[in-house]
Structure 1
Amino acid sequence: MRQEDEAGGPQDTGKAQEPEGSAEKAGSKKDKYQKAQAKAEHAGEKLGKAREKLDKTEAKRAAKKPPGLAKKAVRGARTEAWFYVHNKIHEVEHENVGVEGAHKSELAAEAGARKLTRYAKRRWREHPARKVAKWERKDIKARANVDFQKMASEHPELASNPLSRVQQKWKLKRRYSKEAKAAAKQGAKAAKKTAAASGTATRRAAQFVTRHPVAVLVLLLLLLLCFLVSAVSIVENPKPRSKGKYRNYGEWQKDRKGPLSYQDRLRLAIDTALAERPADLDEFLNLMKRAGYEVKTVRGGGISFRLTGQGQERFTRLRASTLGDGYDLQDVLSAIEGKEKRPGRSERKISLAVDIQAKLAAGKGPGYERWAKVFNIKQMAAALAYIQDNNLTDYEQLAQKATEAADRFHAISEQIKQTEQAMKTNAGLKAATVQYAKTRPVFEQYKATKYSRKFLAEHEADLELYRAAQAEMRSLLGGAKLPKMDVLKEEGRKLTAKKKQLYGEYQKARRDMQELVTIKANIDTLMGYTEPGRKQEKER
């Protein structure tokens, strides 16, 4: 019996230890469940507080009154003061690089401060909503964990595998997310019902129109009649709406006090210099020097002017940001070359007078006759103004001036043709030289094989190119010696620059010739020398 007891002792001891291990596991599971439940309760409390705070914030925002007149007045005064100060700085910043740099830095700092302020306000405004979203996520996670711990205590096999634990938690989270979405949909439906209730008046009005279309039509006709009567009413002595407060530009300019600024004087001097139509930039600068301006070339290729003897201390830069549109260096260069019209500047255009009798014989009516008479008067007035401005009161001087302008135009045209031909010859000679240099080794090999027919059949295309290049060079050189490639390239660059310069002179000469020939034709018509509208001989 003792042996059996001793033999059974360890077995009894092992059986007695099993309940102790299972009790410890049950206790640990219970602790996990309690902790998860505590976390869920904590998350629920935080979520409730966050939602209450969000509701209070939205209620305060909805109850907030718009700014009153006093606040609007203060904002307007602050904005006007800001614009006034910055405009005053902008008027003088072009005269000092340091002031300009400091002003731009200040503007950049103000823009950055505005962006930072808007960002901080937005973050503060959205803080309650972000907090609600945060605790909603934590609440869903905590409730899912509580349910899982409960299921794990009832079914221990679920907690045995880590993958099964993750899967069960994911399913629970997904279920709670669906419930939250369903609650949001219910809220949207409630809002939709509220909007539908608010639109009851609109539906009733539409139903009334449907039931009584005749009455609605009569009402609309009465309203239209009232509008027409008020529109055609005449006020015999209307009062000006501005009550004399606003004036047109002429009245304002007439009563303007104080002398012109240095910028206004510079703009007038530039207009005067360009009106004389200089041939290039150097001639334009010489005209500005004659007008009393000191010229300085600044870094980067810009140009500045200063009026000498008038108290101007700093130079004024020739650019659109300082003087306005049409007064940039590129605008001035374009006006000199005649490529485009300066912004804001209207040029006087003189056209040939119209032969009214010929137009009437062609079938034009009285309306065209009246327009043609006014048009001819304007063209005659423009022609007379031109000859007075240019001191061409003698007809012989006008005729001589027109002849000289035509001769100058034809001479420049001939120079351009010669330059273009020289450029064509230069380009052809360079191409032929390059082709000759490429195919020369092939010809030398052909010559070394004693003009083999087999070699000729294999390299016939290269040999043809060699002969063509050699013939082209002979025809272009005309027996002269072939210059080096560097010399040809330099000659091509010089010809290109010469053509560009001649083209600028060509544009100016063409404008002068067209203007003088047109003016002379109108003066001939006015004096009875020729019939109006007679076609002039045009030569390039």
Structure 2
Amino acid sequence: MAATRLIPMHVNKGKTLAQSLGDRTDYAKNPEKTHKGELVTGYQCDPRTVDEEFMLSKRQYEQITGRRQRHEVIAYQIRQSFRPGEVTPEQANRLGRELALRFTKGKYAFIVATHTDRAHIHNHIVFNSTSLDGTRKFKNFWLSSIALQRVSDLICLENGLSVIEPKPYHERTKRTDYPHKVKNRDVLCEAIDAVLQKNPRSFDELLKGLQTQGYEIKYGKHISAKGKNQARFIRLDSLAAGYTEADLRVRFPGCKRNKPREKQAFAPENQPFDLIIDIQSKLQSKGAGYQRWASVYNLKQMSKTLLFLRDHKIESLEQLNQLATQKTAERDTLLAAIQQSEQRLVEIAALKKHIINYSKTRPIYEEYRKAGYSKKFLEAHREEIMLHKAAKAAFDTLGVKKLPKVKELGVEYAEVLAAKKQAYAEYRQMKNEVQELLIAQRNTAFLYGAEDKADEQVRRNEGQSH
């Protein structure tokens, strides 16, 4: 489970933009909280000079667009907190990098600093408000916090972690960056939350609950609702995710949807199967109708599971467990190879950039050295000198003694990228196979457990009859 928060960063009072960036990034990179900097990684920037590289992008933005940056957001911070004991610091850093890449779509430079100074491991992800190409700025769109949390939940599910239970609408839409007016759609969503807390048995009962709260319901092709102080009806289909008519109907098993189901383009025996439902654990809050539906559902899923075992010639639970273990290991090996390729691609890209910067700024740095490292010369050519120093530091970190040619790095980059694409295609196929095996493994184990409970009940009944 990972909780997220998106925080816009502004210039600190009494400080310059560069000083504010330095303060924010220095706090994230605090060596005492990141295992002496080992848990700090960067994307399209060197963590040691991240503030200077952010400033360079902002200068490029001003040159390209002609706009001055004064009271705008200078950067954004994503705080990602994990449940204690659920992930290691290295895993948290990797998940934070994946979250930032997906949320920014790889268009903004960022650093990921994993802090371990508290009981819960958490990431401080700082990404530049200015894009890498210097042509645009990141806009904090409406409900961006919810979008960020959804991306984080998806990543957690993909990595076998728990996710946060959904909150009521009025709690999920809280914004701390600026106040906003309450909209009729928000009020309607809160009213739906209030009715759902009363556990309605059907979608029609949910609508009746809205009517008791003063809403007028209009039926037709699309169901709409209008409050006492509203001028127009609001279609449920136009509400946020989780509050549309289709989403609300899904909450009630057996509820028919307005739209007919699309015909399946494949044979029933090839349909994907899912996990069997533990009916007994669900009956506390469900009725007899749910029990009948779940029994039929479980029968279908078990039939598909048995067809899967037959098609793959799996004749015993032991054989199924061995195959699942083998395929899982192969999947993890492919994933490790992909991650290694990604790391090498990042290193090559960073190395090419530093080699180019080193070559361009070398004459200026030679003059700076001949000038006796003059402060006046430094102020006049700070940008070039900082880039030159960052390049030299990067070479030392990567252990580069002899600079390779940019053309050779380009060839290696293409080879590694091709290998990564091939491995990723194999990984996707293997991931699907493993998922099917794990579901079959769980369903089969569930079936054996149910039979054991039935046998035990039979023995108890026989004992009572004697």
> Structure 2 length normalisation: TM-score?
0.38
Higher-Rg member (1/2): 1
Which structure has more helix as a fraction of its residues? Answer: 1
> Structure 1 length normalisation: TM-score?
0.33
Which structure has more strand as a fraction of its residues? Answer: 2
